[in-house]
Copies of this chain bind each other. A is one copy, B any other.
């Protein structure tokens, strides 16, 4: 399995915020309750999204989170790359991969590159707006 709960939960949180943040900031415990997820675990995931300017967090009463961008301008690939760190299907295509010696003669590398390209292409083509309830594609 490629996408862990970190990435999947992050995506659900973002969609939830997109659908429920009509007025101001939404505290994470509301999202956690709606989605049936552990608040404590989400609290460890959200700083990743904040530091990448996908959402903004405000402390104190009346605070919470809201999206920094329009749902149509946030892609699924963006969220997953932040939370998963790397969505490469094999180790040799990961960001910090050790350089393979036989890279020029590797028979299997073209498949992995082809797979990687298709995965990223697809995930970048789907936006949060595409996943919202009122969208026709549903």
CA distance A94 to B88 in the complex (A): 19
CA distance A81 to B85 in the complex (A): 25
Are A89 and B3 closer than 8 Å at their CB atoms?
A: yes
Question: Which of A21-29, A44-52, A119-127 is the interface stretch?
Answer: A119-127
Copies of this chain in its oligomeric complex: 2
CA distance A90 to B123 in the complex (A): 14
Are B122 and A107 closer than 8 Å at their CB atoms?
A: no
Please tell me if A15 contacts chain B, counting CB pairs below 8 Å.
Answer: yes
Give the nearest-CB partner of A11 in chain B.
Answer: B108
Are B108 and A15 closer than 8 Å at their CB atoms?
A: yes
The one of B91, B94, B110, B123 in contact with A131, judged by C-beta atoms closer than 8 angstroms, is: B110
